[in-house]
Amino acid sequence: MTCSISSLQAQAQNKIVRLLGLQQAEARIEVQALLRSILNASNAWLIAHSKDMIEPEKLSGFEVLLERRLKGEPVAYIVGFREFYGMDFRVSGDVLIPRPETELLVDLALDRIPENGNFRVLDLGTGSGIIAISVARQRKNALVTAAEKSSRALSVAKMNGKGIENIRFVESDWFDALCGEKYDLILSNPPYIPEEDRHLEDLKHEPALALTSGKDGLDAIRKIIEEAPAHLEPGGWLLFEHGYDQGEICRKLLSKSFHEVYSWKDLSGIERVSGGRLTSR
Ligand code: GLN
């Protein structure tokens, strides 16, 4: 059986909507990603060639990927990459899939890094490296350290950071391997979902290490807030991502050691990043 690229897209899109309950627009993006990886093509190519017939072996390749998707595997893991802050990042089951709301953390970081002069940035629990690498690409003068406990995740981050000169990768359980080091800015998207949270069922393909942190989800955040002051220069900032209902408790925890404590909302209007600043001297 053969069919055109556009009719294959329409059929696959409908299946995803029907069986996984996605919106049409999301399903379209997913189908495009699967097709692009099979055809090794850009979105522009897909549009220009929508009336072309798809070759039988490409068609069966596509059907294998679609089947995996319909069984629940996330598209980012099937195709092996996800776009974040304008760049494609490699991802595997060892790292969290990049979320668009994490771009807020990168924006807030860039607001605080001058375009000139030395500036030391630390990204704790870098995973696939999205935060550290996006910052390093936008601020060539900054020296970025990307720390990660999982060696498997760290090798994904290193692959993503290839060719970027102002970044270094360190295997470290939070601050453990960074003894005596100081930074102007510390960033993190730590695990923050409570251990028994019912949302975890939807995230079962992603590594638990990157998702959950103790009974209330705040173990990692408490540790970071506690230990960050010893690793920050006077006037330095700590900024981290957290769960939809954790803004208030995070501000409370921060205000013990930091001033200028704030939370920032993501595009859905949810408090998503909190942070504070050390006093200048
Ligand atoms: N933002 C992710 C989610 O709720 C969780 C990521 C994290 O724990 N850092 O789906």
Taking the domains of the chain in order of start, what are their residue ranges?
5-79, 96-278
Token readout for 55 is 């070759």
**150 touches ligand 1 (CB under 6 Å):** no
Q: Which residue has the tokens 């955040």?
A: 221
3-state helix, strand, coil in the chain (%, to 5): 45, 20, 35
Q: For residue 192, which atom of ligand 1 is closest to its CA?
A: 8
- 87's CB contacts (< 8 A; 6+ apart) are 133, 134, 137
Helix axes 219-227, 247-254, angle to 10 degrees: 30
Q: Separation of 272 CA from ligand 1 center, angstroms?
A: 10
Q: Separation of 191 CA from ligand 1 center, angstroms?
A: 7
**192 touches ligand 1 (CB under 6 Å):** yes
Domain spanning 96-278, CATH architecture: 3-Layer(aba) Sandwich (3.40)
CA distances to 19, 31, 172 from 158, in Å: 36, 28, 14
**211 touches ligand 1 (CB under 6 Å):** yes
Q: Separation of 100 CA from ligand 1 center, angstroms?
A: 11
Per-residue pLDDT of the chain (281 residues; tens, 9 = 90+): 679 999 999 999 999 999 999 999 999 999 999 999 999 998 899 999 999 999 999 999 999 999 999 999 999 999 999 999 999 999 999 999 999 999 999 999 999 999 998 999 999 999 999 999 999 999 999 999 999 999 999 999 999 999 999 999 999 999 999 999 999 999 999 999 999 999 999 999 999 999 999 999 999 999 999 999 999 999 999 999 999 999 999 999 999 999 999 999 999 999 999 999 999 86
Mutational test site, ligand 1, from 189, 199, 272, max ligand atoms within 8 Å of CB: 189
Q: For residue 96, which atom of ligand 1 is closest to its CA?
A: 6
- 136's CB contacts (< 8 A; 6+ apart) are 121, 142, 144, 161, 164, 166, 167
**212 touches ligand 1 (CB under 6 Å):** no
Domain spanning 5-79, CATH architecture: Orthogonal Bundle (1.10)
Q: For residue 203, which atom of ligand 1 is closest to its CA?
A: 10
H or E segment to which residue 260 belongs:
strand 259-265
Count the alpha carbons within 13 Å of 90 in the hemisphere toward its beta carbon. Answer: 13
- 154's CB contacts (< 8 A; 6+ apart) are 126, 148, 169, 171
**95 touches ligand 1 (CB under 6 Å):** no
**Cβ pair 85, 106 in contact under 8 A:** yes
**99 touches ligand 1 (CB under 6 Å):** yes
Q: DSSP readout, 133-160?
A: HHHHHH-TTEEEEEEES-HHHHHHHHHH
What is the model's pLDDT at position 103?
A: 97
**213 touches ligand 1 (CB under 6 Å):** no
Mutational test site, ligand 1, from 95, 193, 216, max ligand atoms within 8 Å of CB: 193
Q: What is the Cα Rg of the chain in Å? A: 21
CB burial class (10 A; 0-12, 13-18, 19+) of residue 67? exposed
Q: For residue 244, which atom of ligand 1 is closest to its CA?
A: 4
- Phi, psi of 197, deg, nearest 5: -60, 140
What is the model's pLDDT at position 280?
A: 85
Fold agreement (5-79, 96-278): no
Question: Which protein residue has the closest C-alpha to ligand 1 atom 1?
Answer: 99
Q: Separation of 227 CA from ligand 1 center, angstroms?
A: 22
Residue 23 DSSP SS3: coil
* Alpha carbon 193 to its chain's center: 15
**54 touches ligand 1 (CB under 6 Å):** no
